[in-house]
Amino acid sequence: MSEQAQTARAHWSGRWAFFLVTVGSAVGLGNIWKFPYMTGSNGGSAFVLVYLCCILGIGVPLLMAESMLGRRGQGSPVGSMRVLADEAGASRLWQVIGYIGIVGAFIILSFYSVVAGWVLDYTWQAAEGFKALPKEAFAEAFGALLASPGRLIFWHTVFMAMSALVVLGGVTGGIERANKIMMPALFGILVFLVGYGAVAADLPAAWRFLFHFDPSAINRGVLFAAMGHAFFTLSLGMGAIITYGSYLERDVSIPRTGLAIAGADTLVALLAGLAIFSIVFAQGLEPAAGPGLILQTLPLAFSQMPGGHAVGLLFFVLVVFAAWTSAISLIEPGVSLLSERFGMARRPAVLALCAGVWLLGIAVALSFNDWSGFTLFGLGLFDLLDTLTTKIMMPLAGLLIALFVGWAMKRAHVYDEIRMGSRVFVLWFNVVRYVSPVAIVIIFLNIIGVIG
Protein backbone atom coordinates (compact mmCIF):
# COMPACT_ATOMS: atom_id res chain seq x y z
CA MET A 1 0.00 0.00 0.00
CA SER A 2 2.51 2.61 1.05
CA GLU A 3 4.86 2.37 -1.88
CA GLN A 4 6.19 5.82 -1.11
CA ALA A 5 7.07 5.10 2.47
CA GLN A 6 9.49 2.44 1.33
CA THR A 7 12.92 3.49 0.26
CA ALA A 8 12.68 2.44 -3.39
CA ARG A 9 10.68 4.96 -5.37
CA ALA A 10 7.76 3.57 -7.36
CA HIS A 11 8.09 3.53 -11.13
CA TRP A 12 5.64 3.38 -13.99
CA SER A 13 5.71 0.08 -15.77
CA GLY A 14 7.10 1.70 -18.93
CA ARG A 15 7.02 4.62 -21.31
CA TRP A 16 3.53 3.79 -22.50
CA ALA A 17 2.30 4.01 -18.89
CA PHE A 18 3.94 7.40 -18.39
CA PHE A 19 2.41 8.60 -21.64
CA LEU A 20 -1.06 7.42 -20.61
CA VAL A 21 -1.04 8.81 -17.08
CA THR A 22 0.30 12.16 -18.19
CA VAL A 23 -2.23 12.40 -20.99
CA GLY A 24 -4.77 11.44 -18.33
CA SER A 25 -3.66 14.40 -16.26
CA ALA A 26 -3.60 16.78 -19.20
CA VAL A 27 -6.90 15.73 -20.74
CA GLY A 28 -9.60 16.97 -18.41
CA LEU A 29 -12.35 19.50 -17.99
CA GLY A 30 -9.90 21.88 -19.64
CA ASN A 31 -10.22 20.00 -22.92
CA ILE A 32 -13.86 19.06 -22.98
CA TRP A 33 -15.53 21.80 -20.98
CA LYS A 34 -13.25 24.85 -21.19
CA PHE A 35 -11.60 24.55 -24.60
CA PRO A 36 -14.85 24.26 -26.59
CA TYR A 37 -16.54 27.16 -24.82
CA MET A 38 -13.43 29.33 -24.98
CA THR A 39 -13.19 28.58 -28.69
CA GLY A 40 -16.88 29.32 -29.08
CA SER A 41 -16.58 32.64 -27.28
CA ASN A 42 -13.25 33.71 -28.84
CA GLY A 43 -13.98 33.56 -32.53
CA GLY A 44 -13.51 29.85 -33.31
CA SER A 45 -10.54 29.24 -35.61
CA ALA A 46 -8.65 32.37 -34.54
CA PHE A 47 -8.47 31.03 -31.00
CA VAL A 48 -7.54 27.55 -32.22
CA LEU A 49 -4.59 28.82 -34.24
CA VAL A 50 -3.16 30.95 -31.44
CA TYR A 51 -3.71 28.12 -28.99
CA LEU A 52 -1.78 25.68 -31.19
CA CYS A 53 1.13 28.13 -31.37
CA CYS A 54 1.12 28.52 -27.57
CA ILE A 55 1.11 24.77 -27.02
CA LEU A 56 4.03 24.27 -29.34
CA GLY A 57 6.00 27.38 -28.38
CA ILE A 58 5.56 27.47 -24.60
CA GLY A 59 3.63 24.39 -23.51
CA VAL A 60 5.80 21.61 -24.94
CA PRO A 61 9.13 23.11 -23.83
CA LEU A 62 7.83 23.60 -20.28
CA LEU A 63 6.25 20.15 -20.18
CA MET A 64 9.66 18.71 -21.04
CA ALA A 65 11.34 20.91 -18.44
CA GLU A 66 8.93 19.77 -15.72
CA SER A 67 9.21 16.06 -16.52
CA MET A 68 12.96 16.50 -16.45
CA LEU A 69 12.93 18.17 -13.02
CA GLY A 70 10.90 15.30 -11.59
CA ARG A 71 12.99 12.55 -13.08
CA ARG A 72 16.28 14.09 -12.01
CA GLY A 73 15.00 15.14 -8.59
CA GLN A 74 13.36 11.79 -7.75
CA GLY A 75 11.15 13.33 -5.09
CA SER A 76 7.97 15.28 -4.48
CA PRO A 77 7.89 18.66 -6.22
CA VAL A 78 9.45 20.22 -3.12
CA GLY A 79 11.98 17.44 -2.52
CA SER A 80 12.98 17.34 -6.17
CA MET A 81 13.58 21.06 -6.22
CA ARG A 82 15.70 20.84 -3.10
CA VAL A 83 17.89 18.11 -4.59
CA LEU A 84 18.26 20.00 -7.84
CA ALA A 85 18.98 23.32 -6.18
CA ASP A 86 21.74 21.65 -4.14
CA GLU A 87 23.10 19.93 -7.23
CA ALA A 88 23.21 23.26 -9.05
CA GLY A 89 24.76 25.05 -6.07
CA ALA A 90 21.75 27.36 -6.10
CA SER A 91 19.59 28.66 -3.27
CA ARG A 92 17.11 26.32 -1.64
CA LEU A 93 14.54 29.05 -2.10
CA TRP A 94 13.88 27.37 -5.46
CA GLN A 95 11.80 24.90 -3.46
CA VAL A 96 9.11 27.54 -3.69
CA ILE A 97 8.34 26.07 -7.13
CA GLY A 98 7.27 22.89 -5.38
CA TYR A 99 5.20 24.69 -2.76
CA ILE A 100 3.38 26.86 -5.30
CA GLY A 101 2.56 23.69 -7.22
CA ILE A 102 1.28 21.72 -4.26
CA VAL A 103 -0.79 24.55 -2.80
CA GLY A 104 -2.06 25.40 -6.29
CA ALA A 105 -3.05 21.80 -6.97
CA PHE A 106 -4.90 21.69 -3.66
CA ILE A 107 -6.88 24.82 -4.53
CA ILE A 108 -7.57 23.82 -8.13
CA LEU A 109 -8.89 20.46 -7.02
CA SER A 110 -11.34 22.13 -4.61
CA PHE A 111 -13.19 23.86 -7.44
CA TYR A 112 -12.38 21.29 -10.12
CA SER A 113 -14.20 18.75 -8.01
CA VAL A 114 -17.27 20.97 -7.73
CA VAL A 115 -17.40 21.36 -11.52
CA ALA A 116 -16.82 17.62 -11.93
CA GLY A 117 -19.76 17.27 -9.54
CA TRP A 118 -21.97 19.20 -11.98
CA VAL A 119 -20.87 16.73 -14.62
CA LEU A 120 -21.76 13.77 -12.40
CA ASP A 121 -25.20 15.28 -11.78
CA TYR A 122 -25.68 15.68 -15.54
CA THR A 123 -24.43 12.14 -16.15
CA TRP A 124 -27.19 10.97 -13.85
CA GLN A 125 -29.72 13.07 -15.74
CA ALA A 126 -28.35 11.81 -19.05
CA ALA A 127 -28.82 8.23 -17.90
CA GLU A 128 -32.48 8.97 -17.38
CA GLY A 129 -32.62 10.91 -20.66
CA PHE A 130 -33.05 14.66 -21.10
CA LYS A 131 -36.69 15.56 -21.69
CA ALA A 132 -37.52 17.68 -24.74
CA LEU A 133 -38.28 21.07 -23.22
CA PRO A 134 -37.95 24.64 -24.48
CA LYS A 135 -34.51 26.24 -24.43
CA GLU A 136 -35.10 28.31 -21.30
CA ALA A 137 -35.86 25.18 -19.29
CA PHE A 138 -32.26 24.00 -19.74
CA ALA A 139 -30.84 27.28 -18.50
CA GLU A 140 -33.21 27.13 -15.54
CA ALA A 141 -32.22 23.53 -14.79
CA PHE A 142 -28.54 24.49 -14.61
CA GLY A 143 -29.44 27.47 -12.43
CA ALA A 144 -31.40 25.17 -10.14
CA LEU A 145 -28.37 22.92 -9.73
CA LEU A 146 -26.17 25.87 -8.77
CA ALA A 147 -28.80 27.07 -6.32
CA SER A 148 -28.90 23.72 -4.52
CA PRO A 149 -26.16 23.34 -1.88
CA GLY A 150 -27.30 19.79 -1.18
CA ARG A 151 -26.89 18.57 -4.76
CA LEU A 152 -23.57 20.38 -5.28
CA ILE A 153 -22.07 19.07 -2.07
CA PHE A 154 -23.36 15.56 -2.65
CA TRP A 155 -21.75 15.23 -6.09
CA HIS A 156 -18.57 17.00 -4.99
CA THR A 157 -18.28 14.43 -2.20
CA VAL A 158 -18.84 11.55 -4.61
CA PHE A 159 -16.19 12.88 -6.96
CA MET A 160 -13.62 13.40 -4.21
CA ALA A 161 -14.25 9.88 -2.95
CA MET A 162 -13.79 8.42 -6.44
CA SER A 163 -10.53 10.31 -6.88
CA ALA A 164 -9.17 9.44 -3.43
CA LEU A 165 -9.97 5.78 -4.05
CA VAL A 166 -7.71 5.64 -7.11
CA VAL A 167 -4.78 7.37 -5.42
CA LEU A 168 -5.12 5.05 -2.41
CA GLY A 169 -4.30 2.20 -4.79
CA GLY A 170 -0.77 3.55 -5.27
CA VAL A 171 1.29 4.63 -8.24
CA THR A 172 1.06 1.53 -10.40
CA GLY A 173 -1.83 -0.30 -8.74
CA GLY A 174 -4.09 2.75 -8.61
CA ILE A 175 -3.08 5.66 -10.83
CA GLU A 176 -1.56 3.66 -13.66
CA ARG A 177 -4.27 1.03 -13.63
CA ALA A 178 -7.13 3.56 -13.67
CA ASN A 179 -5.58 5.43 -16.58
CA LYS A 180 -5.00 2.24 -18.53
CA ILE A 181 -8.74 1.59 -18.41
CA MET A 182 -10.15 5.08 -18.68
CA MET A 183 -7.91 6.72 -21.28
CA PRO A 184 -8.46 4.18 -24.08
CA ALA A 185 -12.20 4.20 -23.26
CA LEU A 186 -12.21 7.99 -23.40
CA PHE A 187 -10.54 7.99 -26.78
CA GLY A 188 -12.91 5.36 -28.13
CA ILE A 189 -15.99 7.30 -27.02
CA LEU A 190 -14.60 10.48 -28.51
CA VAL A 191 -13.94 8.90 -31.90
CA PHE A 192 -17.44 7.46 -31.83
CA LEU A 193 -18.93 10.89 -31.07
CA VAL A 194 -17.03 12.51 -33.93
CA GLY A 195 -18.30 9.68 -36.17
CA TYR A 196 -21.80 10.46 -34.97
CA GLY A 197 -21.19 14.10 -35.84
CA ALA A 198 -20.15 13.08 -39.35
CA VAL A 199 -23.11 10.81 -39.94
CA ALA A 200 -25.98 12.36 -38.02
CA ALA A 201 -24.94 15.94 -37.23
CA ASP A 202 -23.11 18.81 -38.94
CA LEU A 203 -19.40 17.92 -38.93
CA PRO A 204 -18.56 20.20 -41.89
CA ALA A 205 -19.93 23.23 -40.03
CA ALA A 206 -17.91 22.32 -36.96
CA TRP A 207 -14.80 21.85 -39.11
CA ARG A 208 -15.27 25.27 -40.72
CA PHE A 209 -15.82 26.87 -37.32
CA LEU A 210 -12.60 25.43 -35.86
CA PHE A 211 -10.27 25.45 -38.85
CA HIS A 212 -11.39 28.07 -41.32
CA PHE A 213 -8.65 30.47 -40.43
CA ASP A 214 -9.70 34.10 -40.15
CA PRO A 215 -6.75 36.26 -39.01
CA SER A 216 -8.96 39.31 -38.52
CA ALA A 217 -10.56 37.64 -35.52
CA ILE A 218 -7.25 37.51 -33.61
CA ASN A 219 -6.96 40.18 -30.98
CA ARG A 220 -5.13 40.60 -27.74
CA GLY A 221 -7.89 39.03 -25.68
CA VAL A 222 -7.71 35.88 -27.82
CA LEU A 223 -3.94 35.76 -27.45
CA PHE A 224 -3.97 35.93 -23.67
CA ALA A 225 -6.87 33.55 -23.26
CA ALA A 226 -5.03 31.02 -25.43
CA MET A 227 -1.74 31.35 -23.54
CA GLY A 228 -3.40 30.90 -20.16
CA HIS A 229 -5.31 27.91 -21.41
CA ALA A 230 -2.15 26.26 -22.75
CA PHE A 231 -0.83 26.14 -19.18
CA PHE A 232 -4.02 24.77 -17.74
CA THR A 233 -4.61 22.12 -20.34
CA LEU A 234 -1.08 20.70 -20.08
CA SER A 235 -1.27 20.63 -16.26
CA LEU A 236 1.79 22.88 -16.04
CA GLY A 237 3.15 24.55 -12.93
CA MET A 238 1.07 22.60 -10.42
CA GLY A 239 3.53 19.88 -9.48
CA ALA A 240 1.59 17.21 -11.35
CA ILE A 241 4.11 16.74 -14.15
CA ILE A 242 7.10 16.94 -11.78
CA THR A 243 5.52 14.24 -9.63
CA TYR A 244 4.63 11.97 -12.54
CA GLY A 245 8.11 12.59 -13.97
CA SER A 246 9.67 11.46 -10.69
CA TYR A 247 8.26 7.96 -11.32
CA LEU A 248 9.78 7.87 -14.80
CA GLU A 249 12.60 5.51 -15.78
CA ARG A 250 15.86 6.91 -17.09
CA ASP A 251 15.63 5.22 -20.46
CA VAL A 252 12.51 7.08 -21.62
CA SER A 253 13.05 9.97 -24.02
CA ILE A 254 11.55 13.09 -22.48
CA PRO A 255 11.37 15.13 -25.71
CA ARG A 256 9.64 12.40 -27.66
CA THR A 257 7.14 11.56 -24.92
CA GLY A 258 6.55 15.24 -24.14
CA LEU A 259 5.70 15.96 -27.74
CA ALA A 260 3.40 12.94 -27.91
CA ILE A 261 1.63 13.97 -24.70
CA ALA A 262 0.99 17.51 -25.91
CA GLY A 263 -0.11 16.14 -29.28
CA ALA A 264 -2.59 13.76 -27.68
CA ASP A 265 -3.95 16.49 -25.41
CA THR A 266 -4.47 18.80 -28.37
CA LEU A 267 -6.01 16.05 -30.47
CA VAL A 268 -8.54 15.34 -27.72
CA ALA A 269 -9.44 19.03 -27.40
CA LEU A 270 -9.93 19.35 -31.16
CA LEU A 271 -11.94 16.13 -31.42
CA ALA A 272 -14.11 17.23 -28.50
CA GLY A 273 -14.63 20.57 -30.23
CA LEU A 274 -15.59 18.82 -33.48
CA ALA A 275 -18.02 16.48 -31.72
CA ILE A 276 -19.64 19.23 -29.65
CA PHE A 277 -19.97 21.84 -32.40
CA SER A 278 -21.27 19.27 -34.91
CA ILE A 279 -24.16 18.67 -32.57
CA VAL A 280 -24.59 22.34 -31.63
CA PHE A 281 -24.73 23.48 -35.28
CA ALA A 282 -26.93 20.61 -36.43
CA GLN A 283 -29.52 21.77 -33.91
CA GLY A 284 -29.14 25.42 -34.92
CA LEU A 285 -27.82 26.41 -31.48
CA GLU A 286 -25.40 29.12 -30.37
CA PRO A 287 -21.65 28.22 -30.19
CA ALA A 288 -20.80 31.18 -27.92
CA ALA A 289 -22.80 30.05 -24.91
CA GLY A 290 -19.84 30.32 -22.51
CA PRO A 291 -19.35 27.94 -19.58
CA GLY A 292 -22.90 26.62 -20.00
CA LEU A 293 -22.07 25.19 -23.43
CA ILE A 294 -21.90 21.54 -22.41
CA LEU A 295 -24.42 21.83 -19.55
CA GLN A 296 -27.18 23.88 -21.17
CA THR A 297 -26.70 23.86 -24.93
CA LEU A 298 -25.70 20.20 -25.33
CA PRO A 299 -28.45 18.68 -23.15
CA LEU A 300 -30.96 20.67 -25.21
CA ALA A 301 -29.43 19.16 -28.35
CA PHE A 302 -29.43 15.65 -26.82
CA SER A 303 -33.13 16.00 -26.02
CA GLN A 304 -33.95 16.74 -29.66
CA MET A 305 -31.63 14.65 -31.80
CA PRO A 306 -31.87 11.05 -33.01
CA GLY A 307 -30.17 8.65 -30.58
CA GLY A 308 -29.73 11.58 -28.20
CA HIS A 309 -30.27 9.49 -25.10
CA ALA A 310 -27.37 7.11 -25.72
CA VAL A 311 -25.10 9.76 -27.22
CA GLY A 312 -25.79 12.10 -24.29
CA LEU A 313 -24.93 9.45 -21.75
CA LEU A 314 -21.72 8.49 -23.58
CA PHE A 315 -20.73 12.13 -23.77
CA PHE A 316 -21.07 12.70 -20.04
CA VAL A 317 -19.26 9.47 -19.19
CA LEU A 318 -16.43 10.77 -21.35
CA VAL A 319 -16.29 14.02 -19.39
CA VAL A 320 -16.32 12.12 -16.08
CA PHE A 321 -13.34 9.98 -17.18
CA ALA A 322 -11.47 13.07 -18.31
CA ALA A 323 -12.03 14.90 -15.02
CA TRP A 324 -11.31 11.86 -12.88
CA THR A 325 -7.88 11.09 -14.35
CA SER A 326 -6.93 14.77 -13.96
CA ALA A 327 -8.10 14.98 -10.37
CA ILE A 328 -5.87 12.11 -9.31
CA SER A 329 -2.87 13.97 -10.71
CA LEU A 330 -3.80 16.92 -8.51
CA ILE A 331 -3.79 14.70 -5.40
CA GLU A 332 -0.54 12.80 -5.94
CA PRO A 333 1.87 15.78 -5.61
CA GLY A 334 0.60 16.61 -2.11
CA VAL A 335 0.60 12.95 -1.12
CA SER A 336 4.19 12.55 -2.25
CA LEU A 337 5.17 15.59 -0.16
CA LEU A 338 3.37 14.32 2.95
CA SER A 339 5.06 10.95 2.73
CA GLU A 340 8.47 12.42 1.95
CA ARG A 341 8.37 15.13 4.62
CA PHE A 342 6.47 13.43 7.45
CA GLY A 343 7.01 9.80 6.54
CA MET A 344 3.25 9.36 6.30
CA ALA A 345 1.95 6.18 4.73
CA ARG A 346 -0.12 6.56 1.59
CA ARG A 347 -3.49 5.96 3.20
CA PRO A 348 -3.40 8.65 5.91
CA ALA A 349 -1.70 11.05 3.50
CA VAL A 350 -4.44 10.63 0.87
CA LEU A 351 -7.23 10.84 3.44
CA ALA A 352 -5.84 13.96 5.13
CA LEU A 353 -5.22 15.79 1.88
CA CYS A 354 -8.58 14.88 0.38
CA ALA A 355 -10.43 15.85 3.55
CA GLY A 356 -8.85 19.30 3.33
CA VAL A 357 -9.73 19.69 -0.35
CA TRP A 358 -13.24 18.44 0.35
CA LEU A 359 -13.78 21.11 3.01
CA LEU A 360 -12.57 23.91 0.77
CA GLY A 361 -14.76 22.49 -2.00
CA ILE A 362 -17.80 22.77 0.26
CA ALA A 363 -17.11 26.48 0.63
CA VAL A 364 -16.81 26.68 -3.17
CA ALA A 365 -20.15 24.89 -3.61
CA LEU A 366 -21.79 27.27 -1.15
CA SER A 367 -20.33 30.27 -2.98
CA PHE A 368 -22.90 29.61 -5.73
CA ASN A 369 -25.83 29.95 -3.37
CA ASP A 370 -25.92 30.51 0.40
CA TRP A 371 -22.58 32.31 0.56
CA SER A 372 -22.84 34.15 -2.74
CA GLY A 373 -22.75 37.44 -0.82
CA PHE A 374 -19.11 36.86 0.10
CA THR A 375 -16.81 38.46 -2.46
CA LEU A 376 -13.24 39.67 -2.53
CA PHE A 377 -11.97 42.02 -5.26
CA GLY A 378 -15.47 41.71 -6.66
CA LEU A 379 -15.09 37.95 -7.17
CA GLY A 380 -17.00 35.13 -5.55
CA LEU A 381 -14.98 32.30 -4.01
CA PHE A 382 -15.11 30.13 -7.15
CA ASP A 383 -13.83 32.88 -9.43
CA LEU A 384 -11.37 34.03 -6.82
CA LEU A 385 -9.72 30.61 -6.50
CA ASP A 386 -9.79 30.11 -10.26
CA THR A 387 -8.11 33.47 -10.84
CA LEU A 388 -5.56 32.95 -8.09
CA THR A 389 -4.45 29.57 -9.44
CA THR A 390 -4.81 29.67 -13.20
CA LYS A 391 -3.97 33.33 -13.73
CA ILE A 392 -1.37 33.92 -11.02
CA MET A 393 0.13 30.75 -9.54
CA MET A 394 0.40 28.77 -12.79
CA PRO A 395 2.22 31.43 -14.81
CA LEU A 396 4.39 32.25 -11.79
CA ALA A 397 5.43 28.63 -11.33
CA GLY A 398 6.00 28.33 -15.09
CA LEU A 399 8.22 31.39 -15.04
CA LEU A 400 10.27 30.10 -12.12
CA ILE A 401 10.65 26.69 -13.75
CA ALA A 402 11.88 28.26 -16.97
CA LEU A 403 14.34 30.43 -15.04
CA PHE A 404 15.59 27.54 -12.93
CA VAL A 405 16.13 25.20 -15.86
CA GLY A 406 17.45 27.89 -18.19
CA TRP A 407 19.68 29.80 -15.81
CA ALA A 408 20.26 28.05 -12.47
CA MET A 409 20.84 24.42 -13.46
CA LYS A 410 24.12 23.30 -14.94
CA ARG A 411 23.69 23.03 -18.66
CA ALA A 412 25.46 19.66 -18.69
CA HIS A 413 22.94 18.25 -16.23
CA VAL A 414 20.04 19.51 -18.26
CA TYR A 415 21.60 18.03 -21.38
CA ASP A 416 22.16 14.74 -19.62
CA GLU A 417 18.42 14.39 -18.88
CA ILE A 418 17.06 15.75 -22.14
CA ARG A 419 19.62 14.31 -24.58
CA MET A 420 18.35 15.12 -28.03
CA GLY A 421 20.17 15.94 -31.25
CA SER A 422 22.39 18.83 -30.20
CA ARG A 423 20.78 21.35 -32.57
CA VAL A 424 17.33 20.58 -31.25
CA PHE A 425 18.66 20.77 -27.72
CA VAL A 426 20.02 24.25 -28.31
CA LEU A 427 16.71 25.34 -29.77
CA TRP A 428 14.74 23.96 -26.82
CA PHE A 429 17.19 25.35 -24.28
CA ASN A 430 17.00 28.82 -25.73
CA VAL A 431 13.22 28.73 -25.79
CA VAL A 432 13.26 27.84 -22.10
CA ARG A 433 15.89 30.49 -21.34
CA TYR A 434 14.47 33.41 -23.26
CA VAL A 435 11.16 32.85 -25.02
CA SER A 436 9.17 31.24 -22.19
CA PRO A 437 10.10 33.76 -19.48
CA VAL A 438 9.45 36.74 -21.71
CA ALA A 439 6.14 35.36 -22.94
CA ILE A 440 5.00 34.53 -19.43
CA VAL A 441 5.95 37.94 -18.08
CA ILE A 442 3.92 39.53 -20.87
CA ILE A 443 0.83 37.40 -20.12
CA PHE A 444 1.27 38.11 -16.47
CA LEU A 445 1.47 41.87 -16.87
CA ASN A 446 -1.64 41.70 -19.01
CA ILE A 447 -3.48 39.64 -16.43
CA ILE A 448 -2.72 41.95 -13.56
CA GLY A 449 -3.79 44.82 -15.75
CA VAL A 450 -0.48 46.59 -16.33
CA ILE A 451 -0.82 46.22 -20.08
CA GLY A 452 -3.83 45.50 -22.26
| Interface ranges with ligand PHE (CB under 6 A) | 25-26, 28-31, 105, 108, 232-233, 235, 238, 240, 326, 329-330
Report, in Å, the least distance between residue 128 CB and ligand PHE.
27
Give just the sign of the alpha carbon dihedral 430, 435, 441, 444. Answer: negative
Other CB atoms within a 10 A radius of the CB of residue 247 amount to 23
Of the two residues 3 and 332, which places its CB atom closer to ligand PHE in the complex? 332
CB of 28 to ligand PHE, least distance (A): 2
Count Cβ atoms within 10 A of the Cβ of residue 150 and give its class: 0-12 exposed, 13-18 middle, 19 or more buried: exposed
For ligand PHE, the closer CB: 108 or 126: 108
Which residues fall within 8 angstroms of residue 219, CB to CB, at 6 or more apart? none
CA-CA-CA-CA torsion sign (346, 160, 104, 411) = positive
User: CA torsion angle for 49, 52, 53, 55 (degrees, to 10)?
Assistant: 160
In the complex, least distance from residue 170 CB atom to ligand PHE, rounded to whole angstroms: 19
Residue 379 bridge partners (DSSP) = 376
Q: Which is nearer to ligand PHE, 138 or 224 (CB)?
A: 224
Which residue, 12 or 196, has its beta carbon nearer to ligand PHE? 12
Minimum CB–partner distance for residue 102 and ligand PHE (Å):
11
Evaluated on CA atoms 335, 394, 111, 258, the torsion sign reads negative
Nearer CB in complex with ligand PHE: 67/303: 67
* Residue number with CB closer to ligand PHE (40 or 308): 40
SS3 content of the chain, % helix, strand, coil (to 5): 80, 0, 20
Closest CB 98 distance from ligand PHE, rounded Å:
14
Q: Nearest distance from residue 390's CB to ligand PHE, in Å?
A: 8
**Can you say how many angstroms the Cα of residue 180 is from the centroid of all Cα atoms in its chain?**
18
